[in-house]
Amino acid sequence: MRVVRALSAALLTLGLAAAPAAADSSPSPSQDASDTSAPTRAGTSFRTAAEIEQGQRATASGSTGDYLYWSFPADTGQRPTVGATVELPDTHAAQTWQIDVYDGLRRRQACQYGAQTRTAAADATSVELACVLRTVRAWSEPWANDPLPGTYYVRLTATGVAASDLGLPVDSEVRVDSRDIGGSAAVDGSLAEPLVPGAATRSGDEEESSAVLAGLEPEDGWASGRWSDRWVWTAVGGALAALAGVAGYALTRGSGRPSRVPPAA
């Protein structure tokens, strides 16, 4: 009976530990689409990329053939999803549009899945693109191309455009959301600093001017190398292993002492 009670307590502990892990796997909260702080323009290069928060719906007007850039922060354990919609002019030829994502070192990041490139027919009014990145890791080998915490850049452009369509006006919309993967993506190690381009410089003894090229960061700050629910699962696994050992010993030991063998006559 005591063994059953101990196992029940262990299962209850496991359920309590699993609750925050399940919460971590839920999508990040979305902001109101009518948020006036969302940018209404896009940059034309990495240095002039318009900064957006995750959950914001950024819009921009441009011309067919332009390169449009946005940047957003992504932290450890997040799996960002970048979506873009391009409203095409009334009259146009077939066009191929593409969305690319780069990290803070300007390394192009591969998409796990999603329609990263699409061709719009001549009668299409819009085209939708999507790119689901790999999970952001806290640390990686120098030679690897794994996503790391820091600033990410989104580049939207038309790669296949007829000469007659160059310069035609288009409206674009970009949104970034992410899913928190949690401790299942945790690794041993962390970066000293997130990959945020730019540097802080001092002007005189009293003033401090910022030359940071990307100033946005996650709402709760950068979490690289901090607490992970991986530790919770490790502790719960150790506790269950110990309880299983105790239960096995109790079952094999028996409930009473062996009877004494009567002496021989």
**Alpha-carbon distance 12 to 20, whole Å?**
14
Please give the average per-residue pLDDT across 160-172, as a whole number.
92
Bridge-partner residues for 100, per DSSP? 155
Give mean pLDDT, residues 175-192: 77
Tens of pLDDT, residue by residue over 31-55, are 444 566 789 999 999 999 999 999 9
- Non-local CB neighbours of 69 within 8 Å, separated by 6+ positions: 42, 43, 44, 45, 46, 48, 49, 50, 153, 154, 155, 156
CA-nearest of 53, 50, 59, 60 to 29 is: 53
Single out the residue of 186, 176, 198, 181 nearest to residue 101, CA to CA: 176
Give domain 27-227's CATH architecture.
Answer: Sandwich (2.60)
- Between 164 and 12, the more confident residue is 164
Model-wide pTM > 0.75: no
| pLDDT above 90: residue 85 | yes
What confidence score (pLDDT) does residue 214 get?
A: 63
pLDDT at 204: 43
The C-alpha atoms of residue 138 and residue 71 are separated, in whole angstroms, by 20
Predicted pLDDT at 18: 47
